[in-house]
Amino acid sequence: MLKLPETLRENVRLLGELLGETIHAHEGADLFDKVEKIRQVGKAINQAENGDSAPLVTMLSSLDDKDVLPIVRAFNQFLNLANIADQEYFSSAESEGDDKLQILLQQLAEEKGKDALAGVIGKLRIELVLTAHPTEVTRRTLIRKYDQIVDTLADRQNPSLLNFEQDKLRGRLHRLVEEIWATDEIRAIRPTAVDEAKWGFAVIENSLWQAVPDFIRHLDRVCARHLGRSLPSSLRPFKFYSWMGGDRDGNPNVTHKITREVLLLGRWMAAELYARDIYNLGGDLSMSEANSELRALYPDSATPYRDAMYDLRKRIQSTLEWAEARLQGRNIESPADLITSREDLLGILNLCFNSLNEVDLPHIANGPLLDTIRRVHCFGINLVPLDIRQDGERHVQAIDELVQYLELGNYRNWSEEERQSFLLDALQSKRPLMPHNWPMSDDTAEVLATCRIIAEEPREILSHYIISMAQQPSDVLAVALLLKECGMTWNMPIVPLFETLDDLDRAPSVMDRLWELDWYQEYSSHQQTIMIGYSDSAKDAGKLSATWAQYKAQEKLVALADKYKVSMVLFHGRGGTVGRGGGPVEKAMASQPPGSVKGRIRVTEQGEMIRYKFGLPRVAFKSLSSYLVATLRATLSPNAAPKAEWRDLIERMGTASLEGYRSVVRGHKDFVPYFRNLTPEQELSLLALGSRPAKRKSTGGVESLRAIPWVFAWTQVRLNLPAWLGTRQAIEYALTNDPELLDEMMANWPFFSSFIDLLEMVVGKADGPICTYYEQQLVPAEYRGLGEQLRGDLASLEQLLNTLKKQDVLLSDDPMLRQSLEVRKPYVAPLNYLQAELLKRYRSSENISPDLERALKVTMAGIAAGMRNTG
């Protein structure tokens, strides 16, 4: 088997050694010995051909209660430290992204021509939307320490270090490991929506603020080398947006007041970061020679650039003080020089940039000044323009209450045609429809208050209005009317989100009827963003059926947009896990239907994936490179549409998968009690993960559970069911009925082969014997037959995947991942066995000690770290 790279192995060994020394020093030799024995037994079981876990279970069962928490913490922190070593290695290793970018540009320049390629690069719009779904288990204070460890490990790779410098860095690592051990890894208080937004701003400040201009500078050099031209200073291939503080779907904690506060925080934070940049530029730009335009502003100055920076900094400082006062609740008047658009910043910056180039100082122009110009183009005046998201039912309720108050009828009971007729009349009328004061429910008052906030704020700091569970054209028109009645002066893009299987199937007909409306075509200016939901469709129909439904919906929407000459952007609501649409960027983009990208893509980056992809400047640089390469390839060299016979087979596979999935989730009488007993779904509420409740409604069963805790719960017990249930039936059907065609799809259809690769990964992370142990400890005997059936499905699926991929063991073509999972197994397994025991105690006793309850929470965090996924 492939061994992990030596640098990675050495870093894992070093961090493990430092953790052991820390445990020995703080918890004593006796506990340290217990941790070591558990680790050694787990390792031996893992290395045995048919390892019997009984010795490990016996050892864990004999632990004193007082030892459980420190032992759980030890294994949790080792897994976190192993992840840190991974992160450092893959961010420091020779960059594949650079090679891929250069190779792709060379290839595309030859195929498409340099001019055409430069034109596409100039128009790229990769929109990354940061969302705060409750998947980030790790506390922010620990994330900062983990980042410092990554930096220190990177510093140790310098071959010219002297012995004392190596010792100094080892000492720093030891201190950081000790700080981590002395810090509670579990949040005591659930973060607010404002806290989540601050975390998003911190990612920008600590990582993306540097990574974005660094990457664009690199792209500029590569283009100069291969295309013979530099990129314009206004280039902005990346734009970041946020749902933090704007996503109120099912989250009563996000109110109009929270949205206003987050918008203000963004403006304050942006002003703070720009103030630092401008202060430094003022120190750098000491030269006196300037063009006539800049000289006209400062005719007698010996340092006109410095004076320009001083004036701009005063304006930024004025904005900073205004935002701070407003955040403190002081309703001061807006200053005359308040920054309200990026042009307020770019005016002076571009003037200085052009002047420096005109007086033959291009290296100075293209230094930190150009970086700041590119930051302004990317981050604007509030770092991340905010999306607003609300459930479509809330808009129906608001219109219904208004219509009934005006004695015009009952909006809910109207047909779709009657609703559209009413809404279009009101939208085109110059008279207001809404009285100043009228009786309304609290929910409707909140919807209208949010619309008024949107109408009051500068256009630049807001982005899209997203409608969850959009089902009809009237859902979009209703939002437009509510915004109009609340004083909106610009046409905010309204985005229908199609989530369930039925919604995806209906999406093309909904958009067809919407685009037929002349009023809407004018409102939208032939521009449209449509959001595709991955999480809820997979939860509704199973992974294979949902994935194929998403593909078909996108194909039809692309054709429809072309018919109406609409410039359409598909917004992919992907989660971190495979069960929620996650996976490598390259595979995801290569799987898109041809013609669906066209240089523009919008994608959510959720929870812990923000940290994994963008938490460090070097990691963020590589992620940006991956996105750009994948978007260029999907735009200029998309994969061909699937053959008719492939479509026919996968359609039949999807039907078999849907039946297999729903026969369990909806049709099996024992499924809900089995799920509730087996997994820690109920106990997840103990973790203060995020501001949003785990359920859309306070009552209801599995159907009301959000996709994130649904996936999290199954991952904890190592069954990973949402990512594979139903696929056994689909692959079995194809292998039985048309194995040659299935082989052809594997070899020639990236959409299908990518799906199988991701499926293989989640099956490789599953562990049937560990799930069996949970079942024995937690599930009443009358429900265990279902568990046996599900694990049998999983085992059969593993064999089918090996048959399909013509291999003996899973992940044969990804030995690095396979080895990484093997290394983690001896550390994750004890957490699983202890979690099952702690769940049993927690459920049977009202008097579980605070330390054991904390240990239960730590097992959840540790298993998530070991699997590198939560939800």
Q: What is the dihedral angle through the alpha carbons of 595, 599, 605, 611, rounded to the nearest 10 degrees?
A: 140
282-323 pLDDT, tens digit per residue, is: 999 999 999 999 999 999 999 999 999 999 999 999 999 999
- In terms of Cα–Cα distance, which of 412, 487, 453, 436 is closest to 248? 453
What residues does each domain of the chain span? 389-598+620-636, 643-813
CB 811 within 8 Å of CB 37: no
Phi first, then psi: give them for residue 482, nearest 5 degrees.
-60, -40
Quick one: pLDDT at residue 135?
45
- In terms of Cα–Cα distance, which of 91, 153, 195, 157 is closest to 612? 91
pLDDT above 50 (res 578): no
Cα-to-chain-centroid distance, residue 164: 41
Mean pLDDT over 681-689 rounds to: 81
pLDDT above 50 (res 579): no
Quick one: pLDDT at residue 140?
75
- Give the strand pairing for 494-498 and 462-468: parallel
390-409 pLDDT, tens digit per residue, is: 999 999 999 999 999 999 99
CB 809 within 8 Å of CB 1: no
Quick one: pLDDT at residue 680?
95
Neighbours of 734 (CB within 10 A): 21
The whole-angstrom separation of Cα 569 and Cα 507 is 14
Residue 692: pLDDT band (50, 70, 90) is: low
If one compares 8 and 310, the residue with the highest pLDDT of the two is 310
Residues catalogued as catalytic:
133, 539
Mean residue pLDDT across the chain? 92
Contacts of 845 (CB under 8 A, 6+ apart): none
If one compares 814 and 608, the residue with the highest pLDDT of the two is 814
Token look-up 């017990």 returns: 717
Helices (H) and strands (E) in the chain, counts: 37, 8
Mean pLDDT over 814-841 rounds to: 91
Neighbours of 808 (CB within 10 A): 7
Query: Is residue 678 helix, strand or coil?
Result: helix
Q: What is the radius of gyration, based on Cα positions, of the chain?
A: 28
163-180 pLDDT, tens digit per residue, is: 999 999 999 999 999 999
Q: At what angle do helices 65-92 and 140-155 cross, to 10 degrees?
A: 50
pLDDT above 80 (res 49): no
Cα-to-chain-centroid distance, residue 238: 15
Residue 822: pLDDT band (50, 70, 90) is: confident
Quick one: pLDDT at residue 95?
43
- In terms of Cα–Cα distance, which of 760, 745, 744 is closest to 813? 760
Quick one: pLDDT at residue 722?
94
Write down how long the chain is. 871
704-733 pLDDT, tens digit per residue, is: 566 678 888 999 999 999 999 999 999 999
Neighbours of 416 (CB within 10 A): 14
Residue 583: pLDDT band (50, 70, 90) is: low
117-168 pLDDT, tens digit per residue, is: 999 999 999 999 999 754 455 677 888 898 899 999 999 999 999 999 999 9
Q: At what angle do helices 343-358 and 304-327 cross, to 10 degrees?
A: 170
CB 842 within 8 Å of CB 856: yes
CB 616 within 8 Å of CB 657: no
CATH architecture for the domain at 389-598+620-636: Alpha-Beta Barrel (3.20)
Within 380-457, residue ranges assigned H as helices are: 392-405, 416-428, 442-456
Ramachandran sector of residue 525 (left: φ over 0; alpha: ψ -120 to 50; beta: rest): left
CB 619 within 8 Å of CB 577: no
Mean pLDDT over 252-269 rounds to: 97
Quick one: pLDDT at residue 785?
97
512 - beta bridge partners?
Answer: none
Amino acid at the residue 610: I
**Which range, of 233-242, 335-344, 380-389, 567-576, averages the lowest pLDDT?**
567-576
812 - beta bridge partners?
Answer: none
**Which range, of 42-46, 635-639, 773-777, averages the lowest pLDDT?**
42-46
Report the b/e string of 671-710 with b at 16+ CB within 10 A. beebbbbbbbbebbeebebbbbbbbbeeeeeeeebbbbbb
The whole-angstrom separation of Cα 184 and Cα 206 is 23
Mean pLDDT over 233-258 rounds to: 94
514-572 pLDDT, tens digit per residue, is: 999 999 999 999 999 999 998 888 899 999 999 999 999 999 999 999 999 999 999 99
Handedness of CA 753, 817, 791, 500 (dihedral sign): negative
The whole-angstrom separation of Cα 543 and Cα 710 is 14
Query: Encoding tokens for residue 668?
Result: 């099996």
397-453 pLDDT, tens digit per residue, is: 999 999 999 999 999 999 999 999 999 999 999 999 999 889 999 999 999 999 999
680 - beta bridge partners?
Answer: none
Contacts of 113 (CB under 8 A, 6+ apart): none
The whole-angstrom separation of Cα 852 and Cα 849 is 5
Residue 702: pLDDT band (50, 70, 90) is: low
Mean pLDDT over 234-257 rounds to: 94
Query: Encoding tokens for residue 673?
Result: 């009690």
Quick one: pLDDT at residue 870?
47
Residue 299 DSSP code: T
Query: Encoding tokens for residue 558?
Result: 């692309």
Query: Is residue 595 helix, strand or coil?
Result: coil
pLDDT above 50 (res 580): no
Quick one: pLDDT at residue 312?
98
Ramachandran sector of residue 113 (left: φ over 0; alpha: ψ -120 to 50; beta: rest): left
pLDDT above 80 (res 584): no
Query: Is residue 367 helix, strand or coil?
Result: helix
CB 590 within 8 Å of CB 754: yes
204-219 pLDDT, tens digit per residue, is: 999 999 999 999 999 9
Query: Encoding tokens for residue 143?
Result: 């994330």
Amino acid at the residue 727: T
- In terms of Cα–Cα distance, which of 780, 725, 460 is closest to 579? 725
Q: At what angle do helices 815-844 and 750-765 cross, to 10 degrees?
A: 50
Quick one: pLDDT at residue 802?
97
**Whole-number percent of the chain with pLDDT over 90:** 79
The pTM of the full predicted model, rounded to 2 decimals, is 0.93
Quick one: pLDDT at residue 709?
81
Helix (H), strand (E) at residue 661: helix 644-665
**Whole-number percent of the chain with pLDDT over 70:** 94
Q: How far apart are the first and last CA of the chain?
A: 30
Reported in sequence order, the residue ranges of 156-250 that DSSP labels E, i.e. its strands, are: 238-242
Q: Find the farthest-apart pair of alpha carbons in the chain and give their distance in angstroms, rounded.
A: 90
- In terms of Cα–Cα distance, which of 538, 452, 531 is closest to 497? 531
